[in-house]
Structures are given as structure tokens and as C-alpha cells.
Structure 1
Amino acid sequence: MAHIYVYSPSGAVRDRASFKRGIKRLQALGHEVEIDPTALDTWQRFAGDDATRLASVARAAASGADVALTTRGGYGLSRLLPDLPYRQIAKSIEKGTHFVGFSDFTALQLALYAKTEAITWSGPALCEGFGTNDPEGPDEITMACFDDLLSGSGEGAGWRVKPSSEQDHSSGLLAKQATLWGGNLAMLVSLLGTPYFPEIKNGVLFLEDVGEHPYRIERMMTQLMHAGVLRQQKAIVLGQFTEYKLTPQDKGYTLAKMVEWLRTQVKCPILTGLPFGHVPTKVLLPVGKKVDFLLEDRDAFLLWGHVH
């Protein structure tokens, strides 16, 4: 089975019960779980001060593990970007370590790709994914995708989009050998104008977020549009945007209305429904990998297993 290195590069682990559950579940599956010595450290809102978390990233890269798995997101990696050991991380990826995480981890993923073009994986973190308090355990689809990553058998991800009447494109090949990239929308936008924002043309951009009202999502998407990022993409894929609250003053302005407006502003296809975000069901997505993107009626497919 796999050697999994668990470390905390962002926010402090507050829910230690989920941490313990996640470790036990991975061990019960037969995996060797190595816990970073500072994984449960706390300093202000962070999992240790900046130097502590930087050292944990370096240890994850030096671990030789099959998977370097974050405990959680939160916030903290943005502070570390100037000092991250990019070459060391890229070298460990070349040797077979898969770096997996999401949310705040987006900052490391995109910065690493901008610096080295090394491929990382957007997927579950330890606490919210494997440590869920759902009595049925972690989501089956998420676990199947994680198993595919470990076995090297994963070739893509598929999902059903909303009825075609809500789409602004027809079935067929939407992108060929495009660079898959993205992650948390707020984290991605925060990197604009910095050396840590990858300049990707002919990409498939996937996005998700949590706790952001649709007008805030629109504002961030508009910033990407005005910066010229969206027009350089072959397609945009929207994952799950959760835990926001509409108010009476919205007067019918919803996430769907925001997407409808965005489609009038952007030429490339915009698809919705990707099972990824701050939700139990998450497919694992290789950030930086070349993909083909197909739509067959209402079935969307991101395929990377055959793309060279």
C-alpha cells in the first residue's frame, strides 16, 4: 500500500477528532501514514509560525512518500510563497510524490507550476475528506479517485452538466491537449499580478469557492476577465460554490444568473457542475497536466490518461 505523509502548511488543525479519524481510516486501508512532527502545532490561526510551516513543506518533499497530504486548508500559504522550496518540491514530484490538497493549497499549486511546471493534485485534505464525521465514512467517489491516484490507473473525470438548454455550446471536443489548472477562486485571484500566477494559454480553468456570495464570485471572475485571463482559455469549468446566503435585496440575482451573464461576456464554453470544492464528493484533478475536454450531450469528460 502507499506511504502517505501528513503535514500542515496552512491553518491550524482545530478539529483534532477529524484528524484522528482521518489517520485511522488511512491506516485501516493498509497505508503507512507518517505524521509531520508539527502537524498539530498552533500559532495564532496558523499551524505553526511561518518558519515552522516552511520546514514542514520541506520535510514533506524530502519524505519520499507516495502522497504528501495536507491536513486542511484555511489560510497561510500565501505568506510562504517567496520562500517555498520549489525546486525541492518539483524534484520530489519527479521521483513520484503526489502533492494533494485544495482550498488554500491552491496558492502552492499555482506558484509551483509558475516556477517549475510541476504537476500537483487538487483533491481532499485529511480532516475534511478522510476524517469526516459522516457515519458512512468518506465519500465513495472521492475514495475511488484517491485509489486511482495511488494505483496510477486514473485517466480522467466525468460528470453530468445541467440541461443543454442552459449551455452555450454544442457537444464535441471542447479542448485538445489543454493545460488543466485552477482551484479555489479567491486564492487564484489573489495571485494575479505576482510572480506566482501562471501564464496559461489554451487552458481548461476549473474553479470553486466557499462562503462567497454570487456577486463576489462575479467580481472575481470579472477581474480575471479584465486581466485577460479568461479569453486565453479553451474552456472554464465551475465546480461547487457553497455556504453563501442570498438576501431579499438580491431580487432574483443568483449564482445561475451570474453564470448566465458571464456567458455573454466570455467566448469560450463555461460548464457547471464539476464535483469539486468544499463538498464531500471531490474528483481528483491534476493541476498542470495536459487534458482533452469532451462534452457528449450532458456528459462532460476531462481526460488525461491518454494525453502525451
Structure 2
Amino acid sequence: MPKRFDIQLVAPSGYAEDRAACHRGIERLQAAGHRVHGTEVVDRVLLRFAGSDAERAADINRLADPDKPLPDIVMAICGGYGAIPLLDRLDFDGLAARFLDDSSVLVGHGDFTAIQCALYARCGIGSLHGPMLVQDFGAGYLRENTWRHFWQTVTSPRTEASWVCGEEQRDLLVEGTLWGGNLSALCSLAGTPYLPTVAGGILCVEETGEQAWRIERMLFELKLAGVLDNQRAIVVGGLGGQRVSEYDNGYDIEHALQRFGRACGLPILRGLAFGHGPDKWTLPFGAPAVLSVADGAASLTASGYRYAGAVDGGPVAPA
């Protein structure tokens, strides 16, 4: 019998505009046998946020309460904006005491990157950069690969992603700590105690809706802030939503990455589906990883990270 998980929903950022997607995601998780808690957060709305700063921080701090059992999975409902104002409100000591010796995992992407970075920087708590309730599990069409890779990663201490990066990419083999996430969220933490210092890292970045010049500017911000010092490679995920104007004279995201690649001197790989976008791999933030490229095929393997527990008979499939 496959293991059934307790899943706690949290809403540290924007509110869930698509309520139908919320309920669809909850129903899918429940139909697969999992127990979903905290469903009341999907109904909270204050301005553009899923409740007040105090309410949203309480979602996270409640996990530090030693009198309450930790769920198997803590899942953000959606991104948007709102996580960074919570960081000074979080009980990092309490969270560290609960999570460091427990198998409970946190998962999300986009604005949730700020929470993930802060937890790793202040507590050494790893997490999963992966699907969320609204846009992934609640999507009109559930992507089977996204679902299956998430459960494979959640239930195993090792995971792998593979993709085609093109013949023009030079062969590569590097080892390092896997980390990163949403590019604008990472930049918002530069110069703060909430951005981790990762030596020998494999930095993964993704973004949506930002113009090519803004992508280039944010990458340079990380470089000038010293964040890229001692990184071994940069893996670029989806960068959708760019528009090329007449003023750009043909300058687009390809030019932006080429220009930045020459300036930073690090290998930059493209084509890994993570973060925003309908299909996504689940990446363990803070895990030891191996990145390899041979003959235009890339693979990223991570191991030794926090996972919720083994499942007998494979991942629980959606109804």
C-alpha cells in the first residue's frame, strides 16, 4: 500500500486568484490518498496578498511549535509577491529545532525562493524547488511528468533531471551544492543575511515576464554583489514572457545571456524546465549535486537531501 502524506498548505505571498484551480489541486491530492491541511489559506485575501504579514508569517512559524506534529510536506499555494516582508518575522531558531532532524519537506517556487534562501542561510534547512498547488497540481491539465518527478523526488534521497542542451554546449562535469530559484527573488536578497553564501555552488535561475535587458541586469547584480564568486556553473530555466521592441534592434534573451556569459566566465546551461512553466523538474535546494554535459545531453543528479519518506509501489498516481 503506497504511503499517504500529510500536506500542509501555506500562503506566504499572493492570494489564490483562481479558486477553481485551488479546489482542483486539493481534490487531486486527496484523490491520490493524501491528507491536505490548512485549506483555509486559499480563501484569505488582503490587497494583493494572502492575508496580512502577521497571518502569512504565522503559517510558517506554526511549523516551529513543538506541540504540533510536522506534516510530511509543506506546500506553498502560489507565488506572486509577499515573502520578503515576512523574513524578519520568522522564528528561525524554532524552525531549525524542528526541521533539522525531521523528514518534513518544504516545496514551492517563484516568490517562495525568498523563504527557501532564508531558511538555508539562517538554519541550514534544505527544501524543494518544485510545483505548487494552484498553477501545477490545480492546472486544468495535470502534467504527468511534473507530478511523477515531484513524487519521485519527495520519496527518494536521490533524483535526476536530464535534457537536451544542444551540440554547441561544451562537455562539462562539475560537482557542487544545488541552489537558487527565481532570479528577481534572489536579487531582492543580495546584501541581506537571508541570501546564503554557497561555495562551489551550481546556481539555478529562472524568471517569467521580465524583459531581456532586465534579466541581464539582474544577472550582473548577482555578479557585482559577489554572489557568483566560487560558483561552478549556472543552469538557466524558463525565461518566458519577453517582448522585443523596435528600440532593441534585435537584442533578445539570447544576446543577454551571451553577453553575460562572456562577462562572468562561468558555464551557462539552458533548457532545464523548472520554476515557472507548465512542465517542471523538482530540484532539491541545498543538496550535493553533479552536473554533466556530453554530446549536447545534460543531466543533473542530486542526492542526500531531506525527503518525506519511501513509498511502496512507486509514486501515488493522480485520480
The TM-score, its normalising length taken from structure 1, stands at: 0.92
Is residue 3–residue 32 contact of structure 1 (8 Å, CA) maintained in 2?
yes
Aligned to 2:191: 193
Aligned partners of 1:235 and 1:71: how far apart in 2?
A: 30
Q: Distance in 2 between matches of 1:305 and 1:228?
A: 27
2:83 maps to which of 77, 87, 110: 77
- For 1:101, the equivalent position in structure 2 comes to 108
Q: Secondary structure at the match of 1:304?
A: strand
**Number of equivalences:** 298
Give the SS at the match of 2:41: coil
Q: String of CA shifts for 1:78-136, please: whole Å, max 9, x gaps.
A: 001011122333323531111000001000000111101110110011000000023xx
Moved more, 77-86 or 148-157: 148-157
Using the TM superposition, give the Cα deviation of residue 228 of structure 1 relative to its aligned residue in structure 2, in angstroms. Answer: 2.1
**SS at structure 2 position matched to 1:231:** coil
Give a deviation string over 1:155-206, Cα, whole Å, max 9, x none: 2222111x232x3xx3241x22x11110000000010011111111210000
TM-score by length of 2: 0.89
Structure 1 residues 32, 52: CA separation in 2 closer, same or farther (over 3 Å shift)?
Answer: same
Contact 1:71 1:125 in 2 (8 A): yes
Which one is further off, 104-113 or 3-12?
3-12
| Contact 1:5–1:60 (Cα < 8 Å) also in 2 | no
Could you say what secondary structure the match of 1:230 adopts? coil
Query: Could you tell me how far 1:246 is from its partner in structure 2?
Result: 1.6
**1:243-286 superposed Cα distances (whole Å, 9 cap, x missing partner):** 22221221111111111111211222110111012101110111
Whole-Å separation in 2 of the counterparts to 1:230 and 1:153: 27
CA drift of 1:297 comes to: 1.5
Instruction: List alignment gaps of at least 5 residues for structure 2.
Output: 306-319
Q: How far, CA to CA, are the matches of 2:139 and 2:94 in structure 1?
A: 32
* 1:164-243 matches, cutoff 5 A: 164-165=167-168, 167=169, 170-173=170-173, 175-176=174-175, 178-243=176-241
Question: Residue 158 of structure 1 aligns with which residue?
Answer: 162
**Distance (Å, rounded) in 2 between the aligned partners of 1:149 and 1:303:** 11
Q: What one-letter code is carried by the residue in structure 1 that aligns with 2:282? A: L
Q: Look up the SS of the partner of 2:106 in the other structure.
A: strand
Tell me the SS of whatever aligns to 1:104.
helix
How do 1:1-308 residues align onto structure 2 when only pairs under 5 Å count? 1-60=4-63, 62-90=68-96, 91-92=98-99, 94-134=101-141, 138-152=142-156, 154-161=158-165, 163-165=166-168, 167=169, 170-173=170-173, 175-176=174-175, 178-305=176-303
Cα offset, 1:33, TM superposition = 1.1
Other structure's SS at 1:200 match: coil
| Structure 1 residue runs without a partner (length 5+) | none
Give the distance between the partners of 1:39 and 1:85, measured in 2 at CA.
23
CA-CA distance at 1:304 after TM superposition: 1.7
Counterpart AA for 2:26: I
Q: CA RMSD in A?
A: 1.6
| Residue pair 1:205, 1:235 contacting (<8 A) in 2 also | yes
SS at match of 2:93: helix
Residue 36 of structure 1 deviates from its aligned partner by 4.6
